[in-house]
Amino acid sequence: MDISSLFFLLCLLQTLSSSASSKAFDTLIGTSLSVEKPSDKLVSANGEFSVGFYPVGDNAFCFAIWMTKPSVPTVVWIANRDDPVDGKGSKLSVSKDGKLHLTDSAGSVVWKTKTEALTISEASNLQLRLMNTGNLVLYNFSSVAIWQSFDSSTDILLPQQLLTFGTSVISNRGQGLYSSGYYKFFFDEDNALHLLFQSPKLSSLYWPDPSLKNISDAGICIYNTSRAALLDDTGYFWSSDHFKFYATDFGTVTQRRLTLDADGNLRLYSLQEMNGSWDWVVTWQAISDPCRIHGICGPNGVCTYDHVSGRRCFCLQGFKMKDHSDWSSGCEPEFNISCDHRDESTFIQLAHVDYYGSDIDFLQNLTFQDCQEECLNWCNCKGFQYRFSVEDGGYNCYPKSRLLNGRRSPNFDGDLYLRVPKAGISNHKMPDEEFRLQCSSIVSKQERSTYENKTVKLLLWFATAVGGVEFSCIVLIWFFLLKTSKRPASTAQGYLGLTAKFKRFTFNELRKATRGFKEVIGQGAGGIVYKGVLPDQRSPNAMHTSDNGEIREHKRLVMLVRENVNIGTTEKSWIEEIIDPMLTDNYDKAKMELLVKVALQCVAKDKDERPTMTQVIEMLMSHED
């Protein structure tokens, strides 16, 4: 073999090796990816996308696809955005039935692909591959795609990712948060694309402009039932409802993403190089005035916007911010209006303030006085919108049951009249600056996800519940003793003192509680110290120290009480040997003896000899009977 042939062979082997390594790079080799191995990820052949476990909080991970070229990696798809897993033992696996399974450390399935189950032979040659488009595809043995991430988008549409009637784009909860938010981009039943605000309690469409009488006025066609939309690589977006747009850098070859942001606006981003790093630039957005986005400042909130200070949220006069970490919770009133006393209400005029929706009624060509009376006639009327209509040639009245989607704009020619109590709130038109200064502008704080093992959480809840039951039993016994005690206040104090003496072994208390222990001189660890006992008289179990020539003997209080109970005396009751002498005869000996015996059983060394809480109650109740 000559040198040229050898050189050709080496080049061929190198090419084949590179091809094999590239295939292994973007295709899953084996059956699973582990969260504990950062190297367990797939990278597209062009190096622009990665898929694996992405950190989303404290010990919280999601199985995600992200772009690697931007200065800050950009997550474009997440499997388990609302149910993150922990950083130990979690993994993504290709199961025997041909599905992808994401499991947490406890082995619980938190996400899986919604595909038909395959036979063992059909699932034997499955391949999971990350494409150059950012699409994660699961192929069967015939190289047919049986699942792809493009069919289940999160908050982003990538070029070549088709949006259909069966798919939707849902915003994140906030900046840096990956859980599902309150905004949705989708095809509605009318075959047109819409933006929807959908909180746990409220929902409303806000794009295209809902104030238009007909959606066709926005250039939308509702007769094409194919319901499909697509963004291409050049920055052109088209939809079957005839909606389309172009990026400001249309035609440029770069990475792009159409994102429904956490503030409810739909924006197209293009990746551009600036100062040596790649960052995102907005090249199109659906809504120029962000205050037209519903739910942005919450109930009873007002949104204002200008190009200098941007968007700001305020509370109405007489209202306060409900949650200082989240403006979507809105504001709550600091006053109450009684339905039975309508004359106690008055109205404050808020110029150029609009609240969209929640109209109790729509009344045409009404005087201001009549509109005000209409609102007063409704118990749930929070105020009314009053504005001139060019089409109707008069003023229209809109009584409001709720104050939602509020915005303040000099371009809005109507006013809101807020219903408030007469006492404490003035009845004049509020100046613009006064309105601005009376409201809070605290910026929402962002939350951070933390993984919680639901099994451990359930066990902790169960343990807490058991502890609560035990505490409740103790409280019941305590009240039982207080209820059955008939003696004077000094006797009640004796009971409390005796209970405390079983818990605290201080020298002074023991001296008061034991009349026969005259030689107590101090306290040692775990017992009582005596004076004047010779070494040969000490119990074999006694401990002793000799600090100043005096011999000390220690016995635990429980042992001493138990000895008095067992030995007893003929001259006096054993209870008199241990009771506080200051009580004299102001106590019931039988009750006190019963109480001590029950206490001794409860501190028995053998747990099987200790009574249950039910038995304790029965023993105490037996004396009352």
| CA distance readout (Å), 259 to 151, 210, 251 | 16, 22, 19
pLDDT at 515 over 60: no
Q: Residue 565 phi/psi, 5° resolution?
A: -65, -40
Confidence of residue 53 (pLDDT cuts 50, 70, 90): very high
In words, the CATH class of domain 160-287 is mainly beta
What pLDDT, on a 0 to 100 scale, did the predictor assign at position 148? 96
pLDDT at 512 over 70: no
What pLDDT, on a 0 to 100 scale, did the predictor assign at position 160? 97
Residues of the chain with CATH 3.50.4.10: 292-437
Strand runs labelled E in 431-488? 449-450
The residue among 522, 520, 447, 494 whose CA lies nearest residue 596 is 494
Give Dmax over CA atoms of the chain in angstroms. 124
Tell me the C-alpha distance between 443 and 326, whole Å: 8
Architecture of the 292-437 domain: 3-Layer(bba) Sandwich (3.50)
Sorted by sequence, the CB contacts under 8 Å of residue 33 that are 6+ apart come out as 40, 41, 42, 52, 53, 63, 91, 92
pTM for this structure?
A: 0.67
What pLDDT, on a 0 to 100 scale, did the predictor assign at position 315? 96
For residue 372, how far is the Cα from the chain centroid?
42
The pLDDT mean for the chain works out to: 78
Q: Residue 106 phi/psi, 5° resolution?
A: -85, 0
The residue among 2, 1, 163, 149 whose CA lies nearest residue 76 is 149
Q: Which CATH superfamily is domain 24-152 in?
A: Bulb-type lectin domain (2.90.10.10)
pLDDT tens track for 553-586? 344 567 777 777 766 544 567 777 777 666 666 7
Q: How many residues does the chain have?
A: 625
What pLDDT, on a 0 to 100 scale, did the predictor assign at position 624? 59
Cis amide bond preceding 208, omega within 30:
yes
Tell me the C-alpha distance between 425 and 319, whole Å: 11
Higher pLDDT, 546 or 165: 165
pLDDT tens track for 154-186? 999 999 999 999 899 999 999 889 999 999 999
406-408 and 301-306 as β-strands: parallel, antiparallel, unpaired?
Answer: parallel
Helix (H) or strand (E) run with residue 170 in it: strand 169-174
Q: Residue 532 phi/psi, 5° resolution?
A: 85, 15
Residues of the chain with CATH 2.90.10.10: 24-152, 160-287
Cα end-to-end span (Å), the chain:
113
pLDDT tens track for 191-241? 999 999 999 888 999 999 998 888 888 889 999 999 999 999 999 999 999
pLDDT at 20 over 70: no
pLDDT at 451 over 70: no
At 424 the three-state DSSP class reads coil
Tell me the C-alpha distance between 179 and 494, whole Å: 60
What pLDDT, on a 0 to 100 scale, did the predictor assign at position 581? 67
